[in-house]
């Protein structure tokens, strides 16, 4: 296996890290040249391992073709041509790269981008690299080390159990019979429209269902993270009800934005335990991984269930420790 040429699919979401939360929180926007620097650092690590090809998905705007010309590294980079009649989406890019022979994916973007990757249910493992506003689902270590570790995972023929772990997913059953999913959090909000999608007002949020509660990374998972942290490895999640009579909890809602939430009720959520979310005759909306996505009509409900059936997520520290003989 180690002698076979392998391929890494690279996705850098050109729109990640540019939502309204960064303006409200006075955080900086991430330009395309900055994203190119991130890709360059990742590929510098990949280039240190021989016989690894990098695949980029062609997009309608020409971003990835431009990125290919900006990289300038001693690693083969191939642009995978896109179906001409289909709009650009992250799930489409994942499908294109896997079909073109990618053995692993490196995806740069925030929790929303990584949720879109999970929607595609890739058959290959993923290294989600932080590149958005909220990055709970993402690797925050050195990007060059991440690229190198992913390439070594392929070159050395490590197994998934040696290099990765399976992500948790929050599955939503919608009133119309459809399905949705989230990687980190589902929020029932009082607004009955999606608007700018992102949530930055704590008074909008009524209920949280969390796969992860992280005390040190911004986003809605941070709300419960100080009191009851839940990691990716924990085989449970959290159910949180908010209300005016609750306990004040300070939270980092976005980079540079502190907010106070009032937690009325909090309890552990088991795998396969259904949670029904509804707002009666008032209606509302559901935010998935921080972005309002589903409008909930009055009297309608959504069922949320936690499973461990998401993508396989590569762990660079685990890969490099294994290669150095420490595990």
Residues 155, 214, single domain; the answer is no
| Residue 200 confidence (pLDDT) | 78
pLDDT in tens, 222-234: 999 988 999 999 9
Residues 126, 191, single domain; the answer is no
Q: What is the CATH number of the domain that holds 216?
A: 2.60.200
pLDDT at 2 over 50: no
| Residue 153 confidence (pLDDT) | 97
pLDDT at 22 over 70: no
Residues 46, 75, single domain; the answer is yes
DSSP, collapsed to helix, strand or coil, labels residue 28 as coil
Averaged pLDDT for residues 9-24: 71
* Whole-number Å distance between alpha carbons of 240 and 185: 11
| Residue 88 confidence (pLDDT) | 87
Q: What angle do CA 23, 26, 32 make, to 5 degrees?
A: 65
How many C-beta atoms lie closer than 10 Å to residue 33's C-beta?
8
pLDDT at 311 over 50: yes
Examine residue 141 and state whether it is found in any structural domain, yes or no: yes
Q: What is the CATH number of the domain that holds 65?
A: 3.40.50
Examine residue 1 and state whether it is found in any structural domain, yes or no: no
| Residue 213 confidence (pLDDT) | 97
Rounded percentage of the chain residues whose pLDDT exceeds 70? 93
* Whole-number Å distance between alpha carbons of 157 and 167: 21
Ramachandran region, residue 280 (left: φ > 0; alpha: ψ -120 to 50; beta: rest): left
Tokens representing residue 138 in the block: 């993402």
Residues 134, 220, single domain; the answer is no
Contact in structure between 87 and 96 (CB atoms under 8 Å): no
* Whole-number Å distance between alpha carbons of 53 and 75: 7
Residues 14, 155, single domain; the answer is yes
Residues 239, 163, single domain; the answer is no
Higher-confidence position of 18 and 243: 243
Residues 65, 127, single domain; the answer is yes
Examine residue 13 and state whether it is found in any structural domain, yes or no: yes
| Residue 1 confidence (pLDDT) | 42
Q: How many H helices and E strands in the chain?
A: 9, 17
pLDDT at 197 over 80: no
pLDDT at 177 over 70: yes
The pLDDT-based confidence of 282 (bands split at 50, 70, 90) is: confident
Higher-confidence position of 182 and 34: 182
Give the helix ranges, DSSP H, for 181-246: 222-225
| Residue 222 confidence (pLDDT) | 94
* Whole-number Å distance between alpha carbons of 199 and 203: 10
Residues 257, 153, single domain; the answer is no
Contact in structure between 115 and 183 (CB atoms under 8 Å): yes
| Residue 28 confidence (pLDDT) | 60
Residues 19, 75, single domain; the answer is yes
Residues 259, 196, single domain; the answer is yes
Higher-confidence position of 182 and 133: 182
Distance from the Cα of residue 138 to its chain's centroid: 6
Average pLDDT, the chain: 90
Verdict on whether the full-model pTM lies above 0.85: yes
Residues 203, 155, single domain; the answer is no
Pairing of strands 301-307, 169-173: antiparallel
User: Could you tell me how many residues make up the chain?
Assistant: 327
DSSP, collapsed to helix, strand or coil, labels residue 116 as helix
The structural domain count of the chain equals: 2
Examine residue 212 and state whether it is found in any structural domain, yes or no: yes
Contact in structure between 227 and 249 (CB atoms under 8 Å): yes
Averaged pLDDT for residues 288-299: 91
Domain that holds residue 110: 6-167+310-323
pLDDT in tens, 201-257: 888 999 999 999 999 999 999 999 988 999 999 999 999 999 888 899 999 988 888
pLDDT at 283 over 70: yes
DSSP, collapsed to helix, strand or coil, labels residue 192 as coil
Rounded percentage of the chain residues whose pLDDT exceeds 90? 70
Averaged pLDDT for residues 46-72: 92
With 0-12 CB in 10 A as exposed, 13-18 as middle and 19+ as buried, what is 72?
exposed
Residues 13, 138, single domain; the answer is yes
* Whole-number Å distance between alpha carbons of 65 and 45: 21
């Amino acid at each position: 296996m180690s002698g076979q040429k392998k391929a890494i699919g690279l996705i850098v979401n050109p729109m990640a890290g540019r939502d309204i939360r960064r303006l409200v929180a006075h955080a900086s926007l991430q330009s395309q040249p900055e994203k190119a620097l991130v890709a360059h650092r990742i590929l510098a690590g990949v280039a240190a391992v021989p016989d690894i090809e990098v695949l980029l998905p062609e997009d309608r705007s020409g971003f990835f073709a431009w990125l290919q010309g900006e990289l300038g590294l001693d690693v083969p980079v191939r642009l995978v041509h896109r179906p001409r009649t289909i709009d650009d989406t992250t799930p489409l890019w994942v499908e294109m790269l896997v079909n073109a022979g990618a053995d692993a994916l490196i995806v740069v973007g925030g929790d929303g981008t990584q949720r879109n990757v999970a929607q595609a249910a890739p058959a290959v493992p993923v290294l989600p690299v932080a590149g958005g506003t909220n990055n709970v689902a993402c690797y925050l270590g050195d990007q060059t080390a991440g690229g190198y570790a992913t390439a070594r995972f392929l070159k050395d023929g490590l197994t998934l159990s040696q290099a990765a772990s399976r992500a948790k997913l929050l599955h939503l059953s919608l009133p119309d019979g459809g399905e949705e999913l989230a990687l980190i959090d589902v929020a029932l909000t009082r607004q009955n429209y999606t608007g700018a999608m992102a949530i930055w007002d704590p008074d909008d949020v009524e209920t949280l269902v969390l796969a992860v509660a992280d005390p040190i990374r911004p986003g809605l998972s941070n709300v419960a993270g100080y009191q009851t942290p839940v990691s990716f490895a924990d085989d449970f999640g959290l159910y949180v009800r908010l209300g005016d009579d609750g306990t004040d909890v300070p939270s980092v809602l976005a980079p540079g934005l502190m907010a106070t939430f009032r937690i009325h009720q909090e309890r552990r959520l088991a795998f396969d335990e259904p949670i029904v979310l509804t707002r009666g005759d008032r209606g509302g909306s559901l935010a998935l991984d921080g972005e309002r996505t589903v409008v909930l009509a009055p009297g309608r409900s959504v069922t949320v269930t936690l499973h461990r059936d998401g993508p396989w997520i590569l762990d660079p520290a685990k890969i490099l420790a294994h290669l150095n003989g420490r595990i």
